[in-house]
Chains A and B, each alone.
Chain A
Amino acid sequence: MITLSDYLVLSTILFMIGLFGVVRRKNLLMLFFATEIMLNAVNIGLAAISNYYGDLTGQMFAFFIIAIAASEVAVGLGLLILWFKRKGTIDLDSLQSMKG
């Protein structure tokens, strides 16, 4: 029997993996992946709790997040390609043009 806490544990583990990725990775693409993992971890949590309470609001919210994540990735990837064309790298340390 899979209980609510199992889902929440899974969600937490995924979130931690994503957070770890955000902190450790220097590659912008990998950063996007990590962010997506975090977003989906949250989605799992929302869907599980929504099901548990029998309230559809959480699942609806998850859909919104999926939609927004998709558009965000689209914009982000577009910027990333532009950046790569200009600098030839997608290393995070290269994004320092605003350093004072």
Chain B
Amino acid sequence: MEKYLYIALFAPLVGSLIAAIFGNTPKKVFLGVITSSLIFVSFLSSVLLMMWTFNGNVVKAEMMDWITAGNFSISFGFVADQVSTTMMAVVSLVSGIVHVHSMGYMAHDKGYNRYFSYLSAFVFSMMILVMSDNLLGLFIGWEGVGVCSWLLIGFWYHKKDEPVEVNSSISPSWAANEAFIMNRVADLAMLVGIFIIFWNIGSVKYDDIFTGIQSLSTTTIVSAGVFLFIGAMGKSAQFPFHPWLADAMEGPTPVSALIHAATMVTAGVFLVVRLSPLYEMIPEVGYGIAVLGAFVAMFAATMGLVHNNLKKVIAYSTLSQLGYMFVAAGLGAYWIALFHLATHAFFKSVLFLGAGNVMHAMDDELNIKKMGGLYKPMKHTAIIMILASVALAGIYPFAGFFSKDMILEVAFAEHSYLLWTILWITAGLTAFYSFRLIMLVFFGEERYKAFGFHPHEAYRFQIIAMIPLTILAVIAGFGEHSFMEYVSHILPEYHGHVSSGTVMTLIAVTSAMALSGIGFAVWKYSRGGFSKSWENTFIHKLLINQYYIPKFYDVVFSKPYKELSTFAWKEIDMKIVDATVDFIATSIYDMGESSRSMQTANLSQALKWMAFGLLVLVALVFFAGLK
């Protein structure tokens, strides 16, 4: 079984390297085919591993020693247990489909080969992240996906910077740097967390951590848990690290589907689930996580309500759903968090891929106010996106219904009625903005005609590639019980006590909320949507400006930092550091200049200098000899 583990891990790397060789050559279609099929090889291995681990087996592999210093030693160790194989299967399935879809989406792009190299490198890093059996290996994968995310957000790095009014993310390279730097800030906290664990336990292997943690004081565990969670907040774009995710939509759309919806951003949730024994011991931190998650769920959903940028609406929806996952993980229902992670990966990546088709049809136009009535030219995409939106809204029997409903149930069972109310309202908001998007893009007046667009359906193979994910988005919910049995081999089972009558009431209430959200959106936007005066209200302005948080960060962090940097450059570097170095250089130069007069080309003068030098040397020897 170790063999399959290595195949699953290294197949994407091989694909990435092959594509990298052709990085700066013109488009080669076969590279897309090779990388995609290698990802599917990885997916098949993951499925085999999944079947193998179904009965509670765990595959462990030690590839080689990595760091050995004194009595500290870490090896490149990998583990395929129930949690990591779940992630492996989800990651490799979604990325395989995204690879295939990208062959159509990037068909006319100059950077075709480069793109596939980056994309496969991302999958490889993600595989390291989920398969590593220690925190340091996870951290390497963590940084690897960060780098690939940076490369892919900034894929069209040549696009010029624009004012914020024109493009709220300014430019792809700006957005890429923003994402990278924000993650760096959070990663510092994560490193601190890893150090705390290593300092107190002496190992970074999960198994050692979980046994060693029993003897630690609560303060230590709390500090480790909090710092590690701050790292998770950065990757999963939780408040206050969230602005990068919306700006990351500057990258190619399949990238948004893979990295910024289905896989990388869920790494934070994965970390909390992976370290569940640690978080089990500190329920108060867990509750904090849940509160933050609920806050982000609502906070992001409200921003999604008003945005007119096709991808940003879906990005806020991703943020909101990540909040749901953190609520489940924070309240101790780890398997439910993982389950929602998987179902979310399916329907959200489909939504993004559909958005990619729409963008392609509309010549990269993103403003949904310029679309409308696209159902006619893009029937397949429309149907797929509607199915995914229904799943996202959480309507029975779609996948989102099961996972989201269980999270609400958990909140109720833990007597966190406030969290439950927030999530309940958010469920309505989710349904509303999903269908606002659908209505504005696919139905109503055909506004695109006024702008001279000629939309056309995407390539047939792109649609076919999206079908498996769509099917999963529809039916994955029925795998609930087998999934619970599967991951319960290592994750704690969750026992919430809610009577079945209450459960039915909760389901009814939640479904009613979601249905009314959908109904309101359909009703409102089939009649032309909100009036112009709504756009001048304070609430609308607050939401469309993302609660002024990007502006706040700009004023509080970016601008002072720039001032400080300018000061350091002009005053400290130029006037102190540079001046010192320059002084040494010029003084040597001046010495040479002034001693030039010694060189008269007159031998007797040279001899005099020689005699003088000799005397100096003798004097030196004399005085030094006295000591």
Contact = CB atoms under 8 A, between A and B. Distances in A.
B602 interface: yes
A26 B611 contact: no
B556 interface: no
B601 interface: yes
Interface string B600-614: 111110011001001
A93 B607 contact: no
A93 B611 contact: no
A65 interface: no
Contacts, number: 23
Contact of B603 (A19, A92, A100): A92
A29 B499 CA distance: 123
A22 interface: yes
Contacts of B604: 23, 25-26, 92-93
A26 B605 CA distance: 10
A23 B601 contact: no
A93 B608 contact: no
Interface string A82-100: 0000000000110110111
Contacts of B607: 22-23
A50 to B, nearest CB: 21
Tell me what chain B mostly uses at the interface: helix, strand, loop, or mixed: helix
A95 B603 contact: yes
Interface in B592-627: 600-604, 607-608, 611, 614
B608 A23 contact: yes
B611 to A, nearest CB: 5
Interface residues of B, number: 9
Contacts of A93: 602-604
Interface in B544-586: none
A26 B611 CA distance: 15
A13 to B, nearest CB: 15
Nearest to A99: B601
Contacts of A22: 607, 611
Contacts of A26: 604
Contact of A100 (B601, B608, B611, B614): B601
Which of B601, B604, B611 counts the most A-chain CB atoms under 10 A from its CB?
A: B604
Which of A23, A25, A96 counts the most B-chain CB atoms under 10 A from its CB?
A: A23
A4 B565 CA distance: 73
B611 A19 contact: yes
Contacts of B601: 96, 98-100
A98 B607 CA distance: 16
Nearest to B600: A99
Which of B607, B608, B614 counts the most A-chain CB atoms under 10 A from its CB?
A: B607
A92 B614 CA distance: 21
A81 to B, nearest CB: 18
B611 A23 contact: yes
Interface in A55-100: 92-93, 95-96, 98-100
A100 B614 CA distance: 26
A57 B175 CA distance: 81
Interface in A26-69: 26
A32 B565 CA distance: 68
Interface string B210-251: 000000000000000000000000000000000000000000
23 contacts: A19-B611, A19-B614, A22-B607, A22-B611, A23-B604, A23-B607, A23-B608, A23-B611, A25-B604, A26-B604, A92-B602, A92-B603, A92-B604, A93-B602, A93-B603, A93-B604, A95-B603, A96-B601, A96-B602, A98-B601, A99-B600, A99-B601, A100-B601
Given A22-B607, A92-B602, A93-B602, 11 more contacts: A19-B614, A22-B611, A23-B607, A23-B608, A92-B603, A95-B603, A96-B601, A98-B601, A99-B600, A99-B601, A100-B601
Interface of B: 600-604, 607-608, 611, 614
